[in-house]
Amino acid sequence: MAQIRNNFSEWINQQVGTTSTFAFSDALRTPSLSRLAAGVFPTRKDEEWKYTPLSNLLDTSPAEDTSAALDLESIEGLKQAMPDAHTIVFVNGEYSADYSDKLEHLGSSGLSISHLSQLEGNALQLAEDTILESTLTDDNIFQHIALGLSQNGLFIEVEKNVESETPLHIIHVSTAHGVSAFTNPVNVIRLAENSHLKIVEQYASIGEAAVITVPAGYIQLDDGAGLDYYRVSIENAETNHVCNTSVRVSGSGTFKSHQYLLGSKLTRSNLEVGFTGPGGEAVLRGVYLGDENQHLDVRTYLDHAQPHCSSDQHFRGILNGQARGVFNGLVLVREQAQKTDAQQSNKNLLLSRDARVDTKPQLEIFADDVKCAHGATVGELDSDALFYLQSRGIDKKDAALMLTRAFAAEVTQEIDIASLQAYVQSKIAASLDEIVTPNV
Amino acid sequence: MLSIKNLQVSVEEKPILKGLNLEVKPGEIHAIMGPNGSGKSTLAHVLSGREGYSVDSGSAHYKGLDLLDMAPEIRAREGMFLAFQYPIEIPGVNNTSFLKKALNEIRKHRGEEELDAIDFLGLIKQQMKLVEMKADLLKRPVNQGFSGGEKKRNEILQMAVLNPTLAILDETDSGLDIDALRIVAGGVNKLRSADNAFVVITHYQRLLDYIVPDFVHVLSDGQIIKSGTKELALELEERGYDWLIEKAESQV
């Protein structure tokens, strides 16, 4: 029986003192554990956390929850998003051999997937290097939680020149049934020269446990490599989710990312991309959809440290009730990064008087021959468009639904996996169907 | 079919329509002409149910129903159609699925079976020939990136598919070149029948060379100051509006 404690910080301290069975990289774990032992979570006085209160998360102590157990039907439901993928399932942060496809069968295709805890020798070194080299932000306590406490994780590698046709579908499902409501998977992804892979990471809950999810991803793309990385989070309304993804694109690699934040009480998604060679490309897309008291915070940091790289960001928010959205995107163009092309757009649709968004697209440019633009909008549904649809026989609620779905579809239409696009669009449509009223 | 009696409408407490009367019967085409600011577009908007207009007095009945008491979508389902002066661009909403949804809402209202995708495509392809519209415009979002002429053709296409009983064309000719004007007017002429009626609102006479009206009304300062047949439009073309307006004022 897990002891119920009063807050997250105390709970973390207790974990730090507990012997872990996780054998991955003492070199990384030891400093992270010392940092955790020192405690201190950010407050809203920190510029980085100005718009996002952690009070609810810090008041939560991960406990067991018996509201629901895992069942096969729920897993099958989650698999619907990607019926033609290699599926890997984590339950409460732990790899589930029962629900996952057999990893060893994938080896011959040039794609290899190993458990971080089983790495040794060169592979371990490569995973450690990937983590250290991709990380741009120092002293991020949530990254230390991931590296210091994680019990599970994957090292995903694609060999040189391999086009990995079948996407990987990684499902993280939380129930907190019989374990603490805490999960922090770490994934390390490395694509060698001119290799390609698509990954879909999906976060879901079964039951109503107040789970704290702190995942971390570290990605390295070598010359000419391309990763399409999709994240779909639809967790229950009690979940706090703080994730960090660090990406390093070395010369002419392409990183495409889509994030769909459709659930949770609080989500803070931090995505940082550094270019370490000329010709790299990053395409970042996302939709956050919040209702009631949800708080959804998307943060991006693009470090243009090399010339001839491009980044293109497009994030959209739909907020109802008292929900709050945050977009904070920083594009740094360093002095040597000539011919940078950086575009950043954030558009928000507020469906209620009490919904709110804070949007802060930022450009810091130190090079003189660059093409950079950014923009943000916050608005309501277009009354002219509503009337136009009504004048053709469509009632006001349906008209509002069409317009809000279309608003999200401007992003989701770029999902280039048909089943995933249909899945995400149907989840967005289902949420909108509940929150859009005839009185919008 | 449409009976407007002493209609008085204001916008932000400024009177725009000041006692307008109009009777439209099935099979008729009525042209409403008038100078800028005379209230032409306000009339179109009030009849279609747009917000922001206050009806201070008078009535408008359509097929015996109190039009001013109906939501815009109900008016449409009952067979009314407004061709917009400035059709709205709707990013992300596909032109075909929008029109299919609209048609099926109207069919449901009439107690008819909804059309499936195949039947609908058959219908729309047939109607597109009527307005000589390029097929790729159907795949695009509603009116987005359409030229002025393409937007107006799209309005007439919607009208053809929805097959209204009463269509109000609000300055459909504005911004059209002569070829587009001919196509748009051709669409209207093919749709006219003994059972439906059109109210064509226009500033210029030239549209009426192509859509020949049964009646022409001159709207000035919120009232119809003269009604006549198509010859009145020709006279207006020659003499302008001023002589009529002066005459009307001298009679007050």
For B162-181, how does the pLDDT look when each residue is reduced to its tens digit (9 = 90+)?
999 999 999 888 878 888 88
What pLDDT does A22 receive? 63
SS3 of B83, please?
strand
- Taking the C-alpha atoms of residue A250 and residue B190, their distance in angstroms, rounded to an integer, is 63
- Closest to B214 measured CA to CA, from B235, B237, B197: B197
Q: Are B11 and B50 in contact (CB under 8 A)?
A: no
* Pair type for strands B54-62 and B2-11: antiparallel
CA B116 to chain centre: 28
Query: For B121-168, how does the pLDDT look when each residue is reduced to its tens digit (9 = 90+)?
Result: 999 998 888 888 888 888 899 999 998 889 999 999 999 999 999 999
What pLDDT does A4 receive? 45
Q: Are B154 and B146 in contact (CB under 8 A)?
A: yes
- Taking the C-alpha atoms of residue A184 and residue A20, their distance in angstroms, rounded to an integer, is 14
Model confidence at B187: pLDDT above 90: no
- Taking the C-alpha atoms of residue A402 and residue A389, their distance in angstroms, rounded to an integer, is 9
For the question of whether the overall pTM of this predicted structure is more than 0.95, the answer is no
- Closest to A154 measured CA to CA, from A86, A204, A64, A108: A86
Q: Which of B75, B91, B101 sits opposite A410 (nearest CB)?
A: B91
Query: Which CATH architecture best describes the domain B79-178+186-215?
Result: 3-Layer(aba) Sandwich (3.40)
Q: Is the CB of B88 inside 8 Å of chain A's CB atoms?
A: yes
Q: Is the CB of B102 inside 8 Å of chain A's CB atoms?
A: yes
- Taking the C-alpha atoms of residue A178 and residue A174, their distance in angstroms, rounded to an integer, is 11
Q: Is the CB of A208 inside 8 Å of chain B's CB atoms?
A: no
Residue A212: CB atoms within 10 A of its CB come to 27
What pLDDT does A298 receive? 97
Q: Which of B48, B92, B103 sits opposite A406 (nearest CB)?
A: B92
Using alpha carbons, list the distances in angstroms from residue B179 to A58, B169, B186. Answer: 69, 18, 10
What pLDDT does B134 receive? 85
What pLDDT does A5 receive? 43
CB within 8 Å of A15: residues ≥ 6 apart = A149
Region(s) of chain B under CATH 3.40.50.300: 79-178+186-215
CB within 8 Å of A10: residues ≥ 6 apart = A61
Contact (CB<8Å) A394/B88: no
For A403, name the nearest residue in chain B, comparing CA atoms only: B93
Q: Which of B51, B75, B102 sits opposite A394 (nearest CB)?
A: B102
Instruction: Specify which residues A248 forms β-bridges with.
Output: A220, A274
Contact (CB<8Å) A387/B72: yes
Contact (CB<8Å) A390/B141: no
What pLDDT does A59 receive? 85
- Closest to A182 measured CA to CA, from A238, A98, A103: A238
For B110, name the nearest residue in chain A, comparing CA atoms only: A393
pLDDT in tens, chain A (440 residues): 344 446 888 888 888 877 566 668 888 888 888 888 887 788 888 888 888 988 888 888 888 877 777 888 888 899 989 999 999 999 988 899 999 988 776 766 899 999 998 898 999 999 999 999 999 987 788 999 888 888 789 999 999 999 998 999 999 999 878 788 888 899 999 999 999 999 999 999 998 888 999 999 999 999 999 999 999 999 999 999 999 999 999 989 999 999 999 999 999 999 999 999 999 999 999 999 999 999 999 999 999 999 999 999 999 999 999 999 999 999 999 999 999 999 999 999 999 999 999 999 999 999 999 999 999 999 999 999 999 999 999 999 999 999 999 999 999 999 999 999 999 999 999 999 998 876 65
Looking at the predicted complex, does its ipTM rise above 0.85?
A: yes
Q: Residues 377 to 406 of A: which have CB under 8 A from any B CB?
A: 382-385, 387-396, 398-399, 402-403, 405-406
Contact (CB<8Å) B162/A393: yes
What pLDDT does B115 receive? 94
For B162, name the nearest residue in chain A, comparing CA atoms only: A392
* Chain B residues lying within 8 Å of A389, measured CB to CB: 90, 93, 98, 102
